[in-house]
Amino acid sequence: MNPELTRLLWLEFTPSRVASVLVALFAVLGLGWLIDDQTIGTKTASFALAAFAIVTVAWGANQVGQSLLEEIRGRTWDQQRMSALSPWTMTWGKLAGASAMAWLAGLIALAAYALGGAHGAELLWKLLLLLSGAVLIHGMSLFGALLLLQRGPAGRSSMVLRLVGGLVVAWAALAFVRSETGVVEWFGTRYPLLAFTASVVCLLAAWIVYGSERLMCEALQLRTRPFALLAFLVFATGLAAGFVVGAGTAPATRVLLTAACGLGVALLTAYFSAFALRGDPLLPRRLAVDARRRDWARVGAALPVWLVSLAFAGVCALLARLAFANVDMPLPLDLWFQAPAGALPIFLYGVRDLVVLFGLGCTVRAGRTELVSLIYLALVYWLLPGILTLAGASVIGRLVTPMPWIRPDEAVLILLAHVGLAIAYARLAYLHRVQPLTAAAGSRS
Amino acid sequence: MRAMIEISELTFDYPGLRALDAVSCRIEAGSITALVGPNGAGKTTLMRCLCGLEQPLAGQIRVDGIDVIAEPRRSHERLGYLSDFFGLYEDLTVDRCLRHAALAHGLRGALDGPVRDTAARLGLEDRLQQRAGDLSRGLRQRVAIAQAMIHAPRVLVLDEPAAGLDPEARHSLAALFRALQATGMTLLVSSHILSELEQYATHMLVLDGGRLLEHRALTGMTGTRRTLSIGFDGDGAALAARLKAHDGVHDLDLKAQRALFGFEGDDRAQAALLRELVSGGVEVINFGLAASDLQERYLATVGQRGSPP
């Protein structure tokens, strides 16, 4: 048996905990049964669903995240990292073990829901959605805890945030489960919304668990290569493109729209990772040392998510630009007509910002980087354009924030200059903070 | 003597700070190496790199022939590590803490034997059903060491293991380390309490400013390799010339009327060396295994920089 699962079961399944959870659960279900005229009907099913949301989704997610954060607070994480457990064993051990009690209560609640709720295929899809949704939220909690682990000691607010976040998502999903009967069109084919959503949530749950395993690899100092990230970007691009590519869309337009979706997905991932993942000011030096030794496996492992995502975004931007020339106008929506024209400038905006964020990561004290990065983004996308517009300085405004789809070629030239300045700043920041080496003293001994 | 740990050109950077600067050394199997140096010398970083807990910028580490950087999980089968700020699963009993450590290190089958044996070795037999959170500092230290060694690692790395312990607990810890060494285990121990390290260390590794300043045997406790001391009267240069010409003599340190040097050879070779010196006219006042005198060596190596340990 998985040792991590065993340890968490020892902690979770104490007689007092089992008794108190079961008493509370059956009290809730019993109340529903009484309100439902002493039958297991729709009201009992609603109570069961609420119990599932609170106990399994929200509380379970909190338990999963805590199972990792407690290791940091209790200083037992090094012991785990020194074990022979594989990242996968550790990941599913924590996911299943920490939420075992929540799942016990949740499965009882789902049984009550099944007896009083929907029937047939609809019930099966709803059960699949609820189960995979819970796994998705638990996976997100573990993923978030692993991100916090990268960034240092977790704050006290994290438990409240997880509980509130879990509850919000759970209630949104429940509202959907109880009401939704529509259809969705994806790549021109119409699917029942419930079945489609359940399938997508299933896939997303698998991705978040896999992503947690990848982060666990990094936490255990195991090399990971960026193939999993690239596979996820392809998946997310395909998922998003399905909503904008119709059955009758011409091949060139399909490429254009898919590339535009890929650009958006990759830039979102790059910005998210720049904020959520730990920055490594030593990155250029690591890459240089490994490249000099021709250790390409280590180079691949050292590549940060934002850089890989940017590379993917660059390929998509080029594809979009090339496909744009071959597309017969107009496209289905004005936005989709205009956006691909600005693919390259949008990509360059991303490059500029992420290089600046790397530079800020070198200079700003750890813990304040996010705030300073947000101030930077607010400054360049909101404050400066606003001030220049109010001042009537439209020419300077075009130099500061060129519009990607009004004069794309001009925007490319201006943004290339921005990127050059950003690289110069990042280089200076790197040389100032990271490059000058002093002998070890006064840090961790 | 076979090297259990081989470190080659190990370099580790923090932003703006080189914590380890091309550190290279070989640690013999079955030795107890005292890792000493002032605060900020790089001791903890070196230990964490050795255990695969940190990724160095460059260099290689091999433990029992396994590349730690490339295969950290595999190397953990051979390694046990006690962090300077360790923790225990407070809500588990000592028995369950040890069982979990055994399972996590890949032990399978009946665990009663390893758990009982390890507990007995650390004097924890009568504490097995107690919650780890209820134990005293000294007992918690023992449980943590028991967890680190339950899988019978070849190498045990301990960062400040005696910190916060009372003199009695320290003494029993020293006895435990000697007992582990007697089973063939290799130990790397960092501490600021040099008198405590002196009780069991066979070698000393001095780090300062991320650089390896010295690595040498302290006593004749490792096979045929030993450190000898000669007190003499007369010309030191003549003695030095004779010693340097003799096979097996290395690392000669000549000060006033005392010579300290490493010597490769058994008791007969040592006796032959003494005969040769006396017959060669050296006025030997005393001759024998050097007392380890860790404090003196440490200060001689690092103390010149004015950094207290």
**B9-39 pLDDT, tens per residue?**
999 998 888 899 999 999 999 999 999 988 8
- With CA atoms as reference, the chain B residue closest to A364 would be B15
- pLDDT for the residue numbered A439: 57
B/e letters for A63-77, b = 16+ CB within 10 Å, e = fewer, are bbbbbbbbbbebebb
B98 close to A (CB below 8 A): no
Q: Give per-residue pLDDT as tens, B240-281.
A: 888 988 888 888 888 888 888 888 877 788 888 999 888 888
- Residue pointed to by tokens 């807990």: B53
Tokens for A223, please give them: 């090399």
CA distance A287 to A402: 33
CA distance B155 to B187: 6
CA distance B100 to B74: 18
- Beta pairing partners, B204: B34, B216
- pLDDT for the residue numbered B132: 93
Q: Measuring CA to CA, which residue among A204, A316, A190, A310 is closest to residue A258?
A: A316
A221 close to B (CB below 8 A): yes
Helical residues (DSSP H) of A185-304, grouped into ranges: 193-219, 227-241, 251-276, 283-292, 296-302
- B3-14 and A183-186 as β-strands: parallel, antiparallel, unpaired? unpaired
**Do B105 and A84 lie within an 8 Å CB cutoff?**
yes
- Residue pointed to by tokens 């810890």: B173
Residue B307 has pLDDT above 50, yes or no: no
Residues of B in contact with A83 (CB under 8 A): 76, 101, 104-105
CA distance A348 to B5: 49
From B273's Cα to the closest Cα of chain A, the distance in A is: 42
How far lies B179's CA from each of A89, B30, B122, B155, B290, in Å? 34, 11, 11, 14, 22
3-state secondary structure of A258: helix
How far lies A342's CA from each of A251, A322, A404, in Å? 20, 12, 4
Among A residues 336-375, those touching chain B with beta carbons less than 8 Å apart: 362
Interface test with A, best of B103, B145, B211 (most A CBs within 10 A): B103
Half-sphere exposure of B240 (CA within 13 A, CB side): 12
**Do A443 and B40 lie within an 8 Å CB cutoff?**
yes
- With CA atoms as reference, the chain B residue closest to A444 would be B40
CA distance A80 to A101: 23
Q: How many CB atoms lie within 10 A of CB B143?
A: 24
Q: CB under 8 Å to B259, separation ≥6 — which residues?
A: B229, B230, B232, B236, B239, B240, B243, B252, B253
Q: Measuring CA to CA, which residue among B63, B68, B62 is closest to residue A223?
A: B68
- Residue pointed to by tokens 């109570």: A47
Query: Residue A4 corresponds to which amino acid?
Result: E
**Do A3 and B104 lie within an 8 Å CB cutoff?**
yes
Q: CB under 8 Å to B272, separation ≥6 — which residues?
A: none
- pLDDT for the residue numbered A212: 94
How far lies A106's CA from each of A16, A55, A96, A140, B28, in Å? 18, 7, 13, 18, 56
Return the ∠ at Cα A247 (arms to A242 and A249), rounded to 5°: 90
Q: CB under 8 Å to A87, separation ≥6 — which residues?
A: A213, A214, A216, A217, A219, A220, A222
B137 close to A (CB below 8 A): no
Tokens for A316, please give them: 């998509």
Among B residues 55-74, those touching chain A with beta carbons less than 8 Å apart: 55, 57-58, 72-73
Rounded to a whole number of angstroms, the distance between the first and last alpha carbons of chain A is 38
Residues of A in contact with B76 (CB under 8 A): 82-84
Residues of B in contact with A429 (CB under 8 A): none
Burial of A272 (0-12, 13-18, 19+ CB in 10 A): middle
Tokens for A8, please give them: 């968490």
3-state secondary structure of A192: strand
CB B53 within 8 A of CB B83: no
- Beta pairing partners, B58: B11
Strands (E), B152-278: 155-159, 186-190, 203-208, 211-217, 225-233, 249-255, 258-264
**Do B21 and A439 lie within an 8 Å CB cutoff?**
yes
Of the candidates A221, A289, A437, the beta carbon closest to that of B18 is on A437
CB A94 within 8 A of CB A80: no
Tokens for A337, please give them: 């007509």
DSSP label at residue A330: P
- Beta pairing partners, B212: B207
- B203-208 and B186-190 as β-strands: parallel, antiparallel, unpaired? unpaired
B274 close to A (CB below 8 A): no
- In three-state form (DSSP H/G/I as H, E/B as E, the rest C), the secondary structure along A296-327 is HHHHHHHCCHHHHHHHHHHHHHHHHHHHHCCC
- pLDDT for the residue numbered B108: 82
Average confidence (pLDDT) over B152-174: 86
**Do A75 and B43 lie within an 8 Å CB cutoff?**
no
**Do A7 and B13 lie within an 8 Å CB cutoff?**
no
- pLDDT for the residue numbered A184: 85
Among A residues 66-85, those touching chain B with beta carbons less than 8 Å apart: 74-76, 78-85
- pLDDT for the residue numbered B295: 67
CA distance B72 to B49: 10
**Do B211 and A439 lie within an 8 Å CB cutoff?**
yes
CB B82 within 8 A of CB B159: yes
How far lies A273's CA from each of A96, A309, A310, A354, B179, in Å? 26, 9, 11, 10, 50
Interface test with A, best of B21, B46, B47, B55 (most A CBs within 10 A): B55
CA distance B155 to B5: 8
Of the candidates B13, B45, B211, the beta carbon closest to that of A444 is on B45
- pLDDT for the residue numbered A444: 42
Longest CA–CA span in chain B (Å) reads: 70
- pLDDT for the residue numbered A443: 42
CA distance A319 to A258: 9
- With CA atoms as reference, the chain A residue closest to B191 would be A445
**Do B39 and A7 lie within an 8 Å CB cutoff?**
no
Q: Dihedral through CA A18, CA A21, CA A23, CA A29, nearest 10?
A: -130
Tokens for B134, please give them: 């209820």
**Do B37 and A445 lie within an 8 Å CB cutoff?**
yes
Q: Measuring CA to CA, which residue among B170, B149, B183, B157 is closest to residue B34?
A: B157
From A362's Cα to the closest Cα of chain B, the distance in A is: 8
Tokens for A23, please give them: 């008493």
Q: CB under 8 Å to A435, separation ≥6 — which residues?
A: B16
A311 close to B (CB below 8 A): no
CA distance A312 to A298: 20
CA distance A81 to A252: 50
A222 close to B (CB below 8 A): yes
Tokens for B297, please give them: 């060596």
How many Cβ pairs closer than 8 A exist between chain A and B?
Answer: 134
- B186-190 and B155-159 as β-strands: parallel, antiparallel, unpaired? parallel
pLDDT < 50 positions in chain A: 154-157, 333, 441-445
Q: How many CB atoms lie within 10 A of CB B281?
A: 11
Residues of A in contact with B16 (CB under 8 A): 433-438
Q: Give per-residue pLDDT as tens, B98-150.
A: 999 999 998 888 888 899 999 998 888 899 999 999 998 888 988 999 999 99
- pLDDT for the residue numbered B305: 54
- B3-14 and B58-63 as β-strands: parallel, antiparallel, unpaired? antiparallel
Of the candidates B20, B39, B76, the beta carbon closest to that of A84 is on B76
Tokens for A344, please give them: 């390259």
ipTM: 0.81
CA distance A244 to A231: 21
Residues of A in contact with B58 (CB under 8 A): 289, 293
CA distance A346 to A324: 15
- Beta pairing partners, B262: B227, B250
Interface test with A, best of B23, B36, B57, B151 (most A CBs within 10 A): B57
**Do B15 and A3 lie within an 8 Å CB cutoff?**
no
Q: Give per-residue pLDDT as tens, A37-54.
A: 888 888 888 889 889 988
Report residue A4 CA to chain centroid gap: 25
- pLDDT for the residue numbered A408: 78
B129 close to A (CB below 8 A): no
- pLDDT for the residue numbered A179: 58
**Do A82 and B77 lie within an 8 Å CB cutoff?**
no
A124 close to B (CB below 8 A): no
- pLDDT for the residue numbered A438: 61
Residues of B in contact with A75 (CB under 8 A): 83, 85-87
**Do A10 and B58 lie within an 8 Å CB cutoff?**
no
- Compare B181 and A236 and report the one with higher pLDDT: A236
Provide the percentage of residues in chain B whose pLDDT is more than 90.
Answer: 36
Return the ∠ at Cα B10 (arms to B8 and B13), rounded to 5°: 170
Longest CA–CA span in chain A (Å) reads: 77
Give the global pTM.
Answer: 0.82
Residues of B in contact with A437 (CB under 8 A): 13, 16-18
